Chain A
């Protein structure tokens, strides 16, 4: 038998059998997260399954990150809090941040663990060598009942990174370039395994996070768990980081990607810095460097800052970044998912063009189907704010 990939190794350990790509196995779950977007249906299904006590409540965490608790969302937040209190489940309440970021900050995803989230961007934790995948509300309910889940063991696409990023080029550009190469469904049912050039955690998070935009079941970096040298790969891709230029995803597809020069000059009215893809400390530092070098945002540009967590907001406050953004007229919003999927935070106005550090630009994604959404790195978004139009961030690089 050939050696195993990281994913085959982790799922073998969690299912206590020799799991190979294509097998369907029942796995023990180390940690599962639900969000206010997915928990209400999971609670309905938990009751319908005859659930009374949650199996291992210490392995479950609930994040109130998609909604701000206004309008119809107040009642569902109350229901989630009451269930969690009765069952002994930890809740990250409104304003603490995006569940995916909090899983990482609280160390709930570790090398070799199986961590699932009832939200597609749960793939993010592959950045720390966990097998991490998105699930639905039914799956979360079954985990609440049994502590287990059925999973098909994925084939693996190996992505070998070579070289280092040139100035003005970032992990987001690599993720967009990969989306262009693979297409929106190019890694469906498969694992993306990133090897080669070692990247800092924030960069690994961006690539793991965006792996779902190519359809991947999980995106994983080797840290402690590594693949056997004779592991089988479904496909090999080389991504030379030193040949990348700033990229942008054009409306309304994540894989509709072009070098930023091709979109340069497109006027933008809203610049969004945040989300589980681009709302970390290093993202705001990169954006601020460009904004300061360019003399701040152009008149008429709405600049929105929504840090991925309160810890990030605190760090940015302590180091003066928030004050610098405020002095430029940026709106500082409560940490959480914010405007990303149009469920809270500012919604773009009619026919507004947005450039965002987020991961999706589907029509209507931010809550207004007449808005056009471009996706780019924090530096590229900042460059667009400076110019009032899409621009190459390298113009403002030292």
Chain B
């Protein structure tokens, strides 16, 4: 997976990713994609290119467990989030929707860096740096590979 880094800081809570107020209007990711990160940067959604990668510091997705904070990013064409750590509900919801959560040292990544996620490591094509990524436990990898918990459950019921 390859994409440009869109960099945020520590403790980005789910209300900053998408507000409860917007969610009250609709949970359709194609509606919510226009409002992602609006509390932090009202211009962000318009500047996003599908395939961009969200890069953050520690505790990404803290606060509410609302799953639209994952599906709104998927709706905007984001396939992975890289962070030093995630809140556990965000991590679960990401896995369960097939959004790849990558735990790695994001300290050297700058806005716009070209990143390549390659199995157990992240290559920064702009700086040449390579950082290891924490491996996902087997069941979580299986769920991500099934595209999320829906695909995983459908597969499990068939077998």
Q: Which of A139-147, A158-166, A242-250, A278-286 lines the interface with chain B?
A: A139-147
Contact with A along B96-108 (1 / 0, CB 8 A): 1100000000000
Q: Which of A93-101, A258-266, A292-300, A364-372 lines the interface with chain B?
A: A364-372
CA distance A367 to B39 in the complex (A): 11
B59 at interface by CB-CB < 8 Å: yes
Contact check, A184 vs B59: say whether CB atoms are below 8 A apart.
yes
CA distance A133 to B15 in the complex (A): 19
Contact check, B24 vs A135: say whether CB atoms are below 8 A apart.
no
Contact of A136 among B13, B92, B138 (CB under 8 A): B92
A15 at interface by CB-CB < 8 Å: no
CA distance A365 to B4 in the complex (A): 30
Within 8 A of A (CB), among B108-159: 137-140, 148-150, 153-154, 157
Residues of B within 8 A of A72 (CB): 24-26
Of listed B15, B70, B154, residue having the most chain A CB within 10 A = B15
CA distance A145 to B149 in the complex (A): 12
Contact check, B148 vs A138: say whether CB atoms are below 8 A apart.
yes
Residue of A nearest to B11 (CB): A184
Residues of B within 8 A of A362 (CB): 13, 15-16, 63
Residues of B within 8 A of A118 (CB): 65
Given A135-B92, A136-B93, A184-B11, the answer on whether A120 and B19 have CB atoms closer than 8 Å is no
A363 at interface by CB-CB < 8 Å: yes
Given A37-B23, A49-B154, A364-B39, the answer on whether A188 and B59 have CB atoms closer than 8 Å is yes
Contact check, A38 vs B139: say whether CB atoms are below 8 A apart.
no
A1 at interface by CB-CB < 8 Å: no
Contact check, B92 vs A189: say whether CB atoms are below 8 A apart.
no
Residues of A within 8 A of B93 (CB): 136-138
Q: Which of A40-48, A201-209, A318-326, A349-357 lines the interface with chain B?
A: A40-48
Residues of B within 8 A of A40 (CB): 27
A50 at interface by CB-CB < 8 Å: yes
Contact check, B89 vs A136: say whether CB atoms are below 8 A apart.
yes
CA distance A136 to B96 in the complex (A): 9
Contact with A along B80-96 (1 / 0, CB 8 A): 00000111110111001
Residues of B within 8 A of A231 (CB): none
Residues of A within 8 A of B25 (CB): 72
Residues of A within 8 A of B139 (CB): 24, 150
Residue of A nearest to B140 (CB): A24
Contact check, B153 vs A142: say whether CB atoms are below 8 A apart.
yes
Contact check, A343 vs B149: say whether CB atoms are below 8 A apart.
no
Contact check, A343 vs B20: say whether CB atoms are below 8 A apart.
yes
CA distance A68 to B85 in the complex (A): 35
A14 at interface by CB-CB < 8 Å: no
Contact with A along B45-87 (1 / 0, CB 8 A): 0000000000000110011111110110000000000000111
CA distance A231 to B19 in the complex (A): 41
For the complex, would chain A's binding face be called helix, strand, loop or mixed by DSSP majority? loop
Residue of A nearest to B26 (CB): A72
Within 8 A of B (CB), among A174-208: 184-185, 188-189
Contact with B along A108-142 (1 / 0, CB 8 A): 00000000001110000000000000111111011
Residue of A nearest to B150 (CB): A48
CA distance A79 to B52 in the complex (A): 35
A10 at interface by CB-CB < 8 Å: no
A57 at interface by CB-CB < 8 Å: no
Residue of B nearest to A73 (CB): B24
Residues of B within 8 A of A369 (CB): 39
The smallest beta-carbon distance between B144 and chain A, in angstroms, is 12
Contact with B along A335-377 (1 / 0, CB 8 A): 0000001110000000000000000101111010100000000
The smallest beta-carbon distance between B149 and chain A, in angstroms, is 4
CA distance A40 to B68 in the complex (A): 11
Residues of A within 8 A of B153 (CB): 49-50, 141-142, 145-146
A152 at interface by CB-CB < 8 Å: yes
Residues of A within 8 A of B59 (CB): 184-185, 188, 215
Contact check, B65 vs A38: say whether CB atoms are below 8 A apart.
yes
Residues of B within 8 A of A9 (CB): none
Contact check, B149 vs A45: say whether CB atoms are below 8 A apart.
yes
A221 at interface by CB-CB < 8 Å: no
Contact check, A50 vs B96: say whether CB atoms are below 8 A apart.
no
Contact with A along B1-42 (1 / 0, CB 8 A): 000000000010101100111011111000000000001000
Contact of A185 among B85, B92, B149 (CB under 8 A): B85
The 6 closest A-B pairs by CB, nearest first: A185-B59, A138-B96, A136-B93, A120-B65, A136-B67, A138-B149
- Give the A-binding residues of B (Cβ under 8 A): 11, 13, 15-16, 19-21, 23-27, 39, 58-59, 62-68, 70-71, 85-89, 91-93, 96-97, 137-140, 148-150, 153-154, 157
A-B contact pairs, 7 of them (CB 8 A): A49-B150, A49-B154, A136-B89, A138-B96, A139-B149, A215-B59, A360-B63
- Give the B-binding residues of A (Cβ under 8 A): 24, 37-38, 40-41, 45, 48-50, 66-67, 71-73, 118-120, 134-139, 141-142, 145-146, 150, 152, 184-185, 188-189, 215, 217, 253, 341-343, 360, 362-365, 367, 369
